[in-house]
A and B are shown apart, each in its own frame.
Chain A
Amino acid sequence: MSSTLRIAVSEEKGNVPVTILQLTGDLDGKTYSELETKAGEIINAGASNLLFDLSGVGFMGSAGMRALHGISNKIKTAGPNGSAGQMKLLNPSDAVSRVFKTLGFDQHFNIHRDLDEALKSF
Chain B
Amino acid sequence: MPENEAICRHLRNSIFLSAASEETILELSSQVEFIEAAAGDRIFEKGDLGSALYFVVEGSMRIHDGDIVLTHRGAGEAFGEIGALAALTRTASVTAEIDSQLFKLDKKALFDTMARRPEAAYSFIEALCQRESAMVHDATERAVKAKVTERELAIAQKIQRNFLPDVVPDVPGWKLAGYLQPAREVAGDFYDFFVIPKLGCVGLVIGDVCDKGVGAALFMTLFRSLIRSTSMYRDFVGNDNNADDVTKILQHSIRLTNEYIATTHGQSSMFASVFYGLLIPETGQLCYINAGHESPLIVGASGIRTKLEPTGPVIGLFPDVVHEVKIVEILPDELLVAYTDGATDAKNAAGEQFSEENLLALVANGAPTGGAMVHQIVATVEAFIGGADQYDDITVIAASRGSIE
Contact = CB atoms under 8 A, between A and B. Distances in A.
Contact of A73 (B211, B269, B291, B388): B269
**How many B residues touch the partner, as a band?**
20 to 34
Interface string A53-68: 0000001011101110
Nearest to B293: A102
Contact of B313 (A1, A29, A32, A105): A105
A108 B269 contact: no
Interface of A is mostly: helix
Interface string A68-102: 01100100000000000000000000000000011
A62 B269 contact: no
A104 B295 CA distance: 13
Interface in B196-216: 208, 210-212
The 6 A-B pairs at the shortest CB distance, nearest first, are namely A104-B313, A62-B210, A63-B211, A103-B292, A70-B269, A69-B269
Interface of B: 208, 210-212, 266-267, 269-271, 273, 291-295, 310, 312-314, 317-318, 341, 345, 347, 349, 351, 388, 391-392
Given A63-B210, A73-B269, A107-B313, 10 more contacts: A59-B345, A62-B273, A62-B341, A66-B271, A67-B269, A103-B273, A103-B292, A104-B318, A105-B313, A105-B314
**How many A residues touch the partner, as a band?**
20 to 34
B351 A1 contact: yes
Given A1-B351, A62-B208, A108 B266 contact: no
Contacts of B392: 29, 61
Contacts of A61: 211, 345, 392
Contacts of B341: 62
Contacts of B310: 101-104
B266 A66 contact: no
Contacts of B312: 104
Given A1-B351, A104-B314, A69 B211 contact: no
Contacts of B391: 29
B211 A29 contact: yes
A103 B211 contact: no
A73 B266 contact: yes
A104 B293 CA distance: 9
B282 to A, nearest CB: 32
Task: Name which of A63, A101, A108 has the most chain B CB atoms within 10 A of its CB.
Answer: A63
Task: Name which of B267, B317, B345, B351 has the most chain A CB atoms within 10 A of its CB.
Answer: B317
Given A62-B210, A62-B211, A63-B210, A108 B267 contact: no
Nearest to A28: B391
A116 B391 CA distance: 38
